[in-house]
Structure 1
Amino acid sequence: MCPLRGQPMVRQGARGMQLAARLGGATRLQARLGSSPMQLAVGAMAVDFPGSVTLSDVDLLIGNLESGTHIKAADLSVDLGGALGGRYADAEATIGAVPLLLTRGSGSWSFADSVLGVSGDEWLLRDRQVPARFQPLVSTDMQLTLADGRIAVTGTLDEPQTARDVLRVAIAHDLSSVTGHADLFVDRLTFDDDLQPEMVSNIVLGIIANTRGTLAGRGRIDWSANGVTSSTGRFRTDSLDFAAAFGPVRGLSGDVVFSDLLGMQTGPGQVVRLAEVNPGFAVSNGTIRYRLLPDFRMQVEGGEWPFAGGRLLLDPGVIDLVSEQPRTLVFRVDRVDAAQFLAGFDFENINATGHFAGVIPIVFDKDGGHVRGGRLEVIEDGGTLAYVGELTYEDLGTMANFAFNALRSLRYKYLIVEMDGDLAGEVVTRIRFDGLSQGEGASRNFLTRQVERLPLQFNVTISAPFLQLITSARSLYDTQYVTDPALLGLLPGQVNNPGAVLPGATPPDKPGIQPPESEDRP
C-alpha cells in the first residue's frame, strides 16, 4: 500500500481521521460461491477511508470460462459508510454460451441479507454472433438479483434512436447447474415513420422498406453448460404494409412460429395472407406458404392469388435473404380472363374476350427486378378485341375512318405476349396476333372481305418502362389518364399512393375524353 500522489497518507478532516491510499498492480482472488468456483481480478484499488473504495478493471468469473457468468467493470465503487453498496460504470456481462452480450453498463449495486442487487441506469444488448441478427438495444431499467446461487434479470429493451420499446426480457440462471432461460415479450412493436424494421434487424435491409403496422408475440431461449439447448417463439401481425422489390404489399397478416428463434428458422407450412400486392397491377387476397431455413434462407413453398377470373401462382423455390446473389421468383398466370383483366385497369373503351396462361420469371439482384423470359398466350379458341369508343379526332380522312370502323373489332385465334427487361426500367414486350378475322360490331366492306382471305400475322414490339405500359396504353384514347409511375410507390424513395397527384397537377376527371358507346351523348 502506498500513499496517493500529492496527498498525505493520513489527514484530519471534519469527520475526524481519514486515510487515503492506493493499491497498485493487479490483484487476483479465488473463492467459491456455493458449489461454483469464483475468480476475481482487480487492476487497482483506491481507498478513501471512511468514505469509499474505488476499484478499476474489475473482472469477475463465476464458473468456468466457457460456460460461466462473466462480468467486467472499468470502475466499481464501494461505500464504506452505512449499507454495503456503490456504483459501477463501463461494465459488460455474458452468461455462459448464450450468444448475447450486455455492454456499456452503468448503475448502482447493493448487498444486504445475502442478496446482491444490481440496478442499471443504462445497458446495451448486442448480438455476439457475426453477422449480427439484430441491432443493439438499450435498457434503462435493468434489474439483477443474485441469491441462493441463482441470478434473475428483468428489463425493457428499447431501440436507441427512438427510445421505442422493442421487448421485455426476464432471465433466470442457476449457477450450480449452469442452466437457465430467457423469456422475451414483444407487447406491441409499431413500425412507422420513426421506427423501421432495419433499425431492429439488419436482416430485412434491402428486402422490405417503408413499413407500417404492428407486431406482437413472445419467445423463449433455454441453455445449459453446453450452450443454447432451444429457442422458440411465436409472433403475429394483423396488418403490415411495406414496399418490396416486386411492389407494394398491403395488409400482410399471420403468425410465424420459430423452431429456432436465434437461428431464425421455422418448420414447414408457415402461412401469411396478403390483402394486396401491386407489381404494376393489383392482386388481392393472396396467400404465401414458406419455411425459414438456416443461414437466412427462405424456402417458398408456393403462393396463390385470385386474379381476373383465374389465378396468379408463385412457384416453389429457395431465396437467400442476405446474399447479394440474384434471387428468382417465378409467377404463373392460370386462366386469366381478358375482360376482367382490362376491367381491373378501368379500360372503359376496350372490350376483350379470351383466357390466358403463362409464366413470368422475375430475377431480383442489387440492381433491382428484371423480367426474364416472360410469356403469356391465349388458350382454347382464341378471343376478340374491340374498341367501343369514339375517335378523338374525327378528321382522319374518309378512307382512314372507313378502315377504322371496319377493323375496330377483331377476332384472333392465337395471341402470344413475351416480356424481357427491368421492372424499374425498360421492358421489351413482343405481341404476336395470328388467325385474324372481323368480330361482332365491325362494319363489313370490300376491304375487310379481302383482308379476311389473307393469312395475316401481326408482330408488335413495345419498348417502354414496365410500370408505364398500362397507363400509356389507356392514355392513347384518354389523355387525362396520365399518371407518373412514381405515384404507384414502386420505385425507391417514392410515395405509395396510387391516387396521389403530382404537385401543381390537376386531378383527372372521369369519365375520359372518349366515353363508351353505352353512354348518352348529345
Structure 2
Amino acid sequence: MSASPAVSSPLLRLLLRAALLLLALSGVLALAAVFFLDALARIVATPILADYGVRLQAIEQISLSRHQIRIANIRFLAPDSRDESLIKDLTLDFDPAALLEGRFQRLHIALADINLDSGAATSANTGSSSGNPAATLPALPPLATLVDTMQALPGEAVSIDSLRVAPYLEAGRLTVTRDARELRMLADSRDLQLDLRLNWQNNDTTSTVPEAINGRLLASVLDQNVLRSDFTLTETGSALHWDARSEWQLATLTDYLQTHELMPPALSALQGQLRLNTHLTLPTPDPASTPIVFSWEIETGSNASVAMADTGENPVQTLHLLSVNPTLGDGEFQWPADLRLNASAPALTLTLKLRDSDAPATLLLGLDSLSLNCQLPDACQGHQATSLRVPGFALPGITAEEVVAISNGDLALENGNLHMVFATGSRFELGKLQMPDLEIRQFNALVQDSLSVTDNGSGLLQLSSNGLDLVMPDIIQAGMASHAVAFMSELNGELSLEEPAASRIRSQVTLRNLGSDFLPLSLRMPELDLRLDMADHIVHTDGMLRLANRDILHVDNRLDLRSTSGHASINVSELAFSSGDGSLSTWFFRPPFNADVISGSVQASAELDFAPAEDGTWLIDGPLSVITRELSGFYEDTAIVGVSVSLQGELRQSRDFVSTAPGRIDIERIDPGVPVEHIGLGFDINTPATQATIKDITASLFGGTVSSPGLTYDWSAEENHLAVRIDRLDISRMLALAAYDSVQATGYISGNLPITLRGTTPSIGAGSLAAETPGGAIRYRSTTGNTGNPALDFVNQALSNYQYSLLDTTVDYRTSGELALAVRLQGLNPDVNNGQRINLNLNISDNIPDLLRSLQAGRSIADTLERQLDAR
C-alpha cells in the first residue's frame, strides 16, 4: 500500500454543492408555492434561498391542483455565479396531509440548466491560484447529521430529464429515490451511466442515527461495466473515513476516455481488470484547512496492463520482460546493472509473435507476487505467484483456446539456467486443443507434490515430480468421446519444446475414471496402472487394468509417434468368478444386460497391431484366443451352468474375425424352463464370408438325446436350415415337467425335426415324431365329468386307461411361437368295449414362449441356479 500527498479538490466540492443546491432549491420553492402563488412565492422564497447563496430572479406560471403543483420556469443565480440558471417545467406530486408536514411524493423537472462560477472551475481544473479564489465548502457535518439530513429530505423521488451543470456537465439525467433507510441516485451523461446506492440501519432501541453508511457505485458505458465499487463511510473523532473495494474494467474505460478525448497524454491504452482497495480520510469540520489523506492497494488477482510506479523517495524502477519465445520457453530480464531487486511486480499484458504463427498472441500475465534477490548479472533467487492467460493461439497443425496457468513456487536463475519449482496447488488449464485427428477440451493439470522444471537453453525442459494430476474430461477422436483422470508419480524426463514427440519421459501413471463411447458401458471403478517409458519417438506402456478393485487384464503397448501405429499385448491369465463381490455384475454401475456370471473362470490373450485408418478410426489386426472353464450364471430368466469355450482366431482390420483352429462349446446345463443338459458342438467363424460353421451338435433332453450334424450358418442369407434328430425322449418326464395332474403317460418318442432359421428365429414344418416299440400307456382323468357330447365323452373314457401301440405326431412350429401337433393313436382300453381297438386323432396346440414363461413363473432364477450348482 502506498499513500499520496495531501490533495484538495475544489472541483469535487463544487459538484457536490451543485447537487445539494438543486435539491434545496426545488424543495423550498415547491413548498413555498403551495401557500404563496406566483409573486407572493417569490417574496417568501427569496430570503430563505439567500441562506444557501442562491439569488432568485423569477418564478413563472404556477398552477395548483389538489395533488399537484406545476411551475413553468424558475430563474436564479447560483452562488458566486454571474450567469443565470434555469429550472423548467417543474411538477410536484403530493398528498395534502403529508405536504402539511413538509413532505411530497415525487418531484419531476424537465430541464435543469445550472451555471456555476466559471472562474472557480478554471482554477479547479488548472490548479492555478490566480484570479478568483476557489469556492470552498462549508464545514462537513458529522456523519450522523448527514444521515439525519437524508432521512429528513422532504421528497421520496426526484427526477430530472435533462441536466446541465456548466462548465462540468454538458447533458445528463438524474433520478433520486429515498426511503427510511436507503437513498438511490441514477444518473447518465451521454454514454455513461451511474447507479449510486446509500443505505444505513437505525438503532431501533435508542432511536439514534447510525455512525456508518454502506454504499455501492456502478458505472457502465453503453451497458458495458466500467466500475463496481462497494464502500463504507464511518466516523472517528474529527474525520470521515471512506473504505472501498473497486473493480475496474480497463478496456471499457479506455474506450470511453478515448471517445471523449479524456485519456491522459502519458497513456495510450488500458487493458485487463484492476481491483483496488482504497481508503480516503476526510477531515471534519474544516476540510479546507486540513489535507485529505488518500491511499490504495492493488488486490491479488488483478490482471491489468497498467504500469504502477512508486511515488516515494526511491527512483522509479521499471522491470521489462524482453525476448520472450514461449516455443522455446526462454526469455530475459533487463534492469540497471547495480539494481538489487526485492519487490512485488504488478500485472502486465504481453503481445508477442509465436514461432511459425501468422497472428500475434496476447498473454495476460498477472503477477500476484514476484520477489527476487539478485546478484547481477549472474544469479537470482526468488518466489513467484503468477497467473497467465492466453485467449488463444495457432501453430501449424495446432489450435489452442483459453490457456490458463496459475502457479506459485520458487525460481532460480544462474549462469543462463532457469530452475523453477512449482508448489502444490499450481495448475494448468486448457479450454480446447485442436489437432488434425484429436481434440481435447477442458484439460486440467494440478500439481499434487511439487513439479521441478529446469531450462538450460537447449530447447529441452528437465521435468521431475512425484505427484501430478491430469484431468481429461473430454477427449474426442474419430467422432467418439472419451474421458480419464491420470495421476503421474516418479516423473522424470526431458520435454522437447521444438518437437514434443522426441521427448524422453519416464513415469508411473494411474488412469482412473475411464470412460469412452467406444465402450458404452458404465464401468465400476476402472483403473489402469501403467509404467510409462517414452524415448526416441516410441511410447511404451506396461500395466494392469482393474475393475471394482480386481485385476482384469495385463496390457503391454508400444506406440510409434511418427507413424501413430503400434502393437498391444493383452493377457488375462486366470480370471475367476464367484458369487457376491466376485461376480461379473460388480464390474458395472448399471449392467447393460440382465445377466451375471457367478462361477467359473476365463483366460484370454491377444497380440494386436494397430494403425490409423483414413477415416480417423483405428485398424486392428492380430491373433487372439479365449478359453472359459465351467462358467455359470444366468441370462434373463434362463439359468446356465458349466459353460466351457475354446476360441482361437484372428482379428482383421477391426471388423473381421476368422477362426484359426476348431472352436468348441460345452454346456453342462441350460434351463429356460425346460432343462437341456450336456450340450456340445464344434464351430468355426469366418466373418468375411458371413459364415459360422456349427458341427456335431449334441444335447440331452427328457432322458433322450438331441443331435444334428450341424450347418453352415450364413447370416447374410434369408434362411438357414438345420436337421435335428430326436432319440428316445421320455414322455413321462415331459408331462411331469408340465405338471398336468390329470394326465399320466409312458413311452419314448423319436423322430426328425427340420428347422428353418430366419435370422435367429426358428420354425419347423412337417416334423415327425413316433413312439418307440412297444408303445406305452395313457391315463387321463377328465375333470369335467359327463359333457353331454357323446363323442367327447367316449374319447375321455377311452383315454382313462389307453394302451397304445402306435403314436405318430406331425410337428409344425411357427415363427410366432405357436406349436401345432397332429397326433394319431392306435390302441385299446381293456375297460371299454371289451378291449376292442380304438384309433384316435388328436390336435394339440400351445404357445411355446408363453409355456416357457409359465414354467419360469414363481421361481427365483438365483435360487434355481444355486440349486443346480449345489447338485453338481
**TM-score calculated relative to the size of structure 1:** 0.64
- The Cα offsets for residues 69-125 of structure 1, whole Å up to 9 and x where unpaired, read as 99994226573489832424214899999x996733233463348841233343455
Q: In structure 2, which of residues 378, 384, 391 is the aligned counterpart of residue 19 of structure 1?
A: 384
Moved more, 266-275 or 52-61: 52-61
Contact 2:672 2:852 in 1 (8 A): no
Q: What is the rounded CA distance, in whole Å, between the counterparts of 1:272 and 1:360 in structure 2?
A: 21
Gaps of 5+ in 1: 31-36, 321-326, 472-482, 501-522
Go from structure 1 to structure 2 and tell me whether the alpha carbon gap of 1:250 and 1:330 turns closer, same or farther (over 3 Å shift).
farther
Q: In structure 2, which of residues 676, 699, 724 is the aligned counterpart of residue 283 of structure 1?
A: 676
Identity of aligned residues (%): 11
Q: What is the rounded CA distance, in whole Å, between the counterparts of 1:464 and 1:95 in structure 2?
A: 49
1:141 match: secondary structure = strand
Matched, 1:274 2:662: no
2:859 match: secondary structure = helix
Q: In structure 1, which of residues 254, 261, 265 is the aligned counterpart of residue 657 of structure 2?
A: 265
Go from structure 1 to structure 2 and tell me whether the alpha carbon gap of 1:377 and 1:54 turns closer, same or farther (over 3 Å shift).
closer
Q: Which residue of 2 aligns with 1:337?
A: 728
Q: Which residue of 2 aligns with 1:79?
A: 451
Q: Which residue of 1 aligns with 2:823?
A: 432
Deviation at residue 461 of structure 1 after TM alignment: 2.8
Q: What is the rounded CA distance, in whole Å, between the counterparts of 1:352 and 1:304 in structure 2?
A: 25
1:281 match: secondary structure = coil
Q: What is the rounded CA distance, in whole Å, between the counterparts of 2:734 and 2:713 in structure 1?
A: 29
Q: In structure 1, which of residues 132, 138, 142 is the aligned counterpart of residue 526 of structure 2?
A: 138
Deviation at residue 386 of structure 1 after TM alignment: 0.9
Q: In structure 2, which of residues 630, 634, 643 is the aligned counterpart of residue 252 of structure 1?
A: 643
Q: What is the rounded CA distance, in whole Å, between the counterparts of 2:429 and 2:515 in structure 1?
A: 23
Point out the structure with max Rg over C-alpha: 2
Go from structure 1 to structure 2 and tell me whether the alpha carbon gap of 1:270 and 1:355 turns closer, same or farther (over 3 Å shift).
same
5 Å-filtered alignment, 1:114-513, equals 115-127=504-516, 129=518, 138-139=526-527, 141-159=529-547, 162-176=548-562, 178-191=564-577, 192-194=579-581, 205-206=592-593, 209-212=595-598, 213-224=600-611, 228=619, 230-244=621-635, 247-260=638-651, 262-263=654-655, 265-267=657-659, 269-292=662-685, 299=692, 301-302=694-695, 304-307=697-700, 308-313=703-708, 315-318=711-714, 332-338=723-729, 340=730, 342=732, 350-359=745-754, 372-373=763-764, 376-379=767-770, 384-387=775-778, 407-412=801-806, 414-419=808-813, 429-434=820-825, 436-438=826-828, 443=830, 446-449=833-836, 451-452=837-838, 456-463=839-846, 485-487=857-859, 489=861, 495-496=864-865
Q: What is the rounded CA distance, in whole Å, between the counterparts of 2:772 and 2:735 in structure 1?
A: 24
Deviation at residue 354 of structure 1 after TM alignment: 4.7
Deviation at residue 59 of structure 1 after TM alignment: 8.3
Q: What is the rounded CA distance, in whole Å, between the counterparts of 1:127 and 1:136 in structure 2?
A: 13
Contact 1:487 1:498 in 2 (8 A): no
Q: Which residue of 2 aligns with 1:506?
A: none
More relative contact order, 1 or 2 (CA 8 Å, 6+ apart) = 1
Go from structure 1 to structure 2 and tell me whether the alpha carbon gap of 1:437 and 1:170 turns closer, same or farther (over 3 Å shift).
same
Q: What is the rounded CA distance, in whole Å, between the counterparts of 1:463 and 1:239 in structure 2?
A: 34
Residue type at the aligned position of 1:266: V
Deviation at residue 273 of structure 1 after TM alignment: 1.5
Q: What is the rounded CA distance, in whole Å, between the counterparts of 2:860 and 2:722 in structure 1?
A: 21
Q: What is the rounded CA distance, in whole Å, between the counterparts of 1:448 and 1:466 in structure 2?
A: 40
Contact 2:681 2:696 in 1 (8 A): yes
Go from structure 1 to structure 2 and tell me whether the alpha carbon gap of 1:141 and 1:333 turns closer, same or farther (over 3 Å shift).
closer
Q: In structure 1, which of residues 101, 107, 111 is the aligned counterpart of residue 488 of structure 2?
A: 107
Go from structure 1 to structure 2 and tell me whether the alpha carbon gap of 1:85 and 1:233 turns closer, same or farther (over 3 Å shift).
same
- The Cα offsets for residues 135-186 of structure 1, whole Å up to 9 and x where unpaired, read as 6973252321212332211222122xx2332212111223345442111121
Contact 2:524 2:586 in 1 (8 A): no
Deviation at residue 236 of structure 1 after TM alignment: 0.7
Deviation at residue 484 of structure 1 after TM alignment: 6.5
Deviation at residue 409 of structure 1 after TM alignment: 0.8
Q: What is the rounded CA distance, in whole Å, between the counterparts of 2:571 and 2:481 in structure 1?
A: 16
1:496 match: secondary structure = helix
Q: Which residue of 2 aligns with 1:323?
A: none
2:865 match: secondary structure = coil
Residue type at the aligned position of 1:44: V
Deviation at residue 422 of structure 1 after TM alignment: 7.0
Q: What is the rounded CA distance, in whole Å, between the counterparts of 1:253 and 1:463 in structure 2?
A: 34
Contact 2:444 2:472 in 1 (8 A): yes
Go from structure 1 to structure 2 and tell me whether the alpha carbon gap of 1:55 and 1:96 turns closer, same or farther (over 3 Å shift).
same
Q: What is the rounded CA distance, in whole Å, between the counterparts of 1:234 and 1:285 in structure 2?
A: 24
Deviation at residue 195 of structure 1 after TM alignment: 6.4
Go from structure 1 to structure 2 and tell me whether the alpha carbon gap of 1:412 and 1:148 turns closer, same or farther (over 3 Å shift).
same
Contact 1:287 1:305 in 2 (8 A): yes
RMSD across aligned positions (CA): 5.5
Q: What is the rounded CA distance, in whole Å, between the counterparts of 1:351 and 1:357 in structure 2?
A: 20
Go from structure 1 to structure 2 and tell me whether the alpha carbon gap of 1:382 and 1:344 turns closer, same or farther (over 3 Å shift).
same
Q: In structure 1, which of residues 27, 43, 57 is the aligned counterpart of residue 430 of structure 2?
A: 57
Deviation at residue 487 of structure 1 after TM alignment: 3.0
Deviation at residue 240 of structure 1 after TM alignment: 1.3
- The Cα offsets for residues 449-493 of structure 1, whole Å up to 9 and x where unpaired, read as 2x54xxx4422435477675899xxxxxxxxxxx8654384xxx8
Deviation at residue 253 of structure 1 after TM alignment: 0.8
1:487 match: secondary structure = coil
**TM-score calculated relative to the size of structure 2:** 0.41
Residue type at the aligned position of 1:20: A
Q: What is the rounded CA distance, in whole Å, between the counterparts of 1:462 and 1:74 in structure 2?
A: 67
Q: What is the rounded CA distance, in whole Å, between the counterparts of 1:418 and 1:157 in structure 2?
A: 51
Go from structure 1 to structure 2 and tell me whether the alpha carbon gap of 1:24 and 1:381 turns closer, same or farther (over 3 Å shift).
closer
1:7 match: secondary structure = strand
Contact 2:673 2:852 in 1 (8 A): no
Contact 2:748 2:772 in 1 (8 A): no
Go from structure 1 to structure 2 and tell me whether the alpha carbon gap of 1:80 and 1:373 turns closer, same or farther (over 3 Å shift).
closer
Q: What is the rounded CA distance, in whole Å, between the counterparts of 2:505 and 2:431 in structure 1?
A: 17
Structure with the largest fraction of helix: 2
Contact 1:126 1:137 in 2 (8 A): no
- The Cα offsets for residues 326-359 of structure 1, whole Å up to 9 and x where unpaired, read as x999765414224x45458769963214532224
Q: What is the rounded CA distance, in whole Å, between the counterparts of 1:69 and 1:176 in structure 2?
A: 19
Contact 1:38 1:60 in 2 (8 A): no
